[in-house]
Amino acid sequence: MRSIIPDYVTEALAEVAPDISGEPAGYIPELAAADPERLGAVFATVDGEVYGAGDIDTEFTIQSISKPFTYALALADRGFDTVLAKVGVEPSGEAFNEISLEGDTGRPRNPMINAGAITAHSLAGSAELTPAERVERVVGGLSAFAGRRLTMDEVVCASELKYAHRNLAIAHMLRSHNILTEDPRTIVDGYTRQCSVLVTTRDLAVMAATLANRGINPLSGEQVIPEPVVRQVLSVMSTCGMYDAAGDWATQVGIPAKSGVAGGLIGALPGQIGIATFSPRLDRHGNSVRGVSLFERFSADMGLHVMEVPPAARAVVRFDHVVGRAKNAIRVIQLQGGIGFAAAERVVREVMDTAPTEARVALDLTMVYSIDDVARRMLLEVARRLTLDGHEVYLVDPESIIPDPDPGDGGRVTVVGNVEQLELSVSS
């Protein structure tokens, strides 16, 4: 059977294809010459499946889509304190190339506008790097996100550098506030090289999927950046990634995203997929017109908005019943699904409300597919309190969803592989 997903993407591309509104970026002559008809879209899942249709292997320059990834490298290389001291996290509501800084601190408002991105470039790698080594750190880092060695389009780079007056103005302003500590021309040169890295729509989807997959590239398996950095980057993408269109995007699409003036657009949906589109005509914010339409459609068709309410946590308790009789009775509470705080709270309430009178109580995790750290600690605390109340507590955990469970402080649990084992021990 053919997968239905590329067919769906092909259909979506056909639907937006007639829209020829907008213009390719005009301020970089080489970009203005790009074929405006190009159109492609790719989905990359967090477990490494890649689906696409249209122009998915055509190379184009990454431009501003490099910004969240370089910000990630700066955070990973220099730490949060150093980076946050120089670049804020507030949406600016301004154009990407606005010449503005925070009044009191002189910091750029966020790392998605050029002022913040130029600063983030200066913070990639250790402070001792030469400008060329810094560019290599950035290109190497972007390559790790993509899972293949990326190259640079020297022609686009030279074309942009010739007209980089605005970015130079921004960099000189940053230097005057000591946000940049090196020669502004050198930093703008490095930042422009970063923007000139060549990617395909397929690469961008894998890069986005790496963010969606807690920083692990789903194809190479490499942990490219630590999880706390991923959280920071996705947060900033969701509030600032679409510049002065960020509010419309947040309400209508609701996926952390970033656009680039060559026509690329990425979205990273945590725990699910990375999406990338490519279509060079831009709207007045500098975002791809057909890319925005595709994302609106994907989000609506597939329920991808991050604020879409997850299934109610109450479904976590599948059964609560008693197996065996009298002194052999075991209370079995069977749980299901993915368990986070709200679901674990529901389990706590179930145990309190029903106050087991049986000597033995089992939490059956056979149908649980994931449990996060706080939920694991809460369930073990339930087990500890049940032990202190005189119960013998079992975890039915054939897949070691909770490895080496230790409720601590007087708590005790016995792990069994299935409920039958418990029933056998009842009848024996």
64 versus 200: smaller Cβ distance to ligand DON: 64
C-beta of 214: minimal distance to ligand DON in Å?
A: 26
The conformational region for residue 315 under phi > 0 = left, psi -120 to 50 = alpha, else beta, is: alpha
Query: What span, in angstroms and rounded, lies between the C-alpha atoms of 425 and 428?
Result: 5
CB-wise, 68 or 274, nearer to ligand DON?
Answer: 68
* Residue numbers at the binding site for ligand DON (CB under 6 A): 63-64, 96-97, 114, 160, 167, 195, 259-261, 286
Nearer to ligand DON, 142 or 347 (CB): 142
What length does the chain have?
428
**Per residue in 310-337, is it b (16+ CB within 10 Å) or e — as a string?**
eeebeebbeebeebbeeeebbbbbbbbb
- DSSP assignment of 273-320 equals EEEEEE---B-TTS-BHHHHHHHHHHHHHHT--TTSPPPPGGGGEEEE
Cα separation, 412 vs 221, in Å, equals 36
Catalytic residue among 8, 46, 51, 64: 64
Q: Which residues pair with 276 in a beta bridge?
A: 42, 266
CB of 372 to ligand DON, least distance (A): 35
**CA 73/CA 52 separation, integer angstroms:** 28
Active-site residue flag, 67: yes
| 370 part of the active site | no
Residue nearest to ligand DON (CB): 64
| Catalytic residue from among 46, 229, 230, 261 | 261
Whichever of 52 and 263 has its CB closer to ligand DON, that residue is: 263
Residue 193 CB, nearest approach to ligand DON (Å): 10
Is the distance from CB of 333 to CB of 353 less than 8 angstroms?
no
Q: Can 86 be counted among the known catalytic residues?
A: no
Q: What CA–CA distance (Å, rounded) separates 202 from 41?
A: 8
Is 258 considered catalytic here? no
117 or 206: CB nearest ligand DON? 117
Nearer to ligand DON, 283 or 372 (CB): 283
CA distance 47 to 49: 6
Q: Coil, helix or strand for 244?
A: helix
Name which of 64 and 210 has its Cβ closer to ligand DON.
64
Residue 61 CB, shortest distance to ligand DON, in Å, is 8
122-142: b or e for each residue (b if 16 or more CB lie within 10 Å)? bbbbeeeeebeebbebbbebb
- At 372, list the tokens: 């996060």
Shortest Cβ 166–ligand DON spacing (Å): 7
Q: Measured from the CB of residue 306, what is the shortest distance to ligand DON in angstroms?
A: 21
CA distance 376 to 45: 26
Q: What is the smallest separation between the CB atom of 259 and ligand DON, expressed in angstroms?
A: 4
27 is catalytic: no
d(CA 347, CA 286): 48
> How far is it, in rounded angstroms, from Cα 76 to Cα 229?
7
Q: Could you list the active site residues?
A: 64, 67, 191, 243, 261
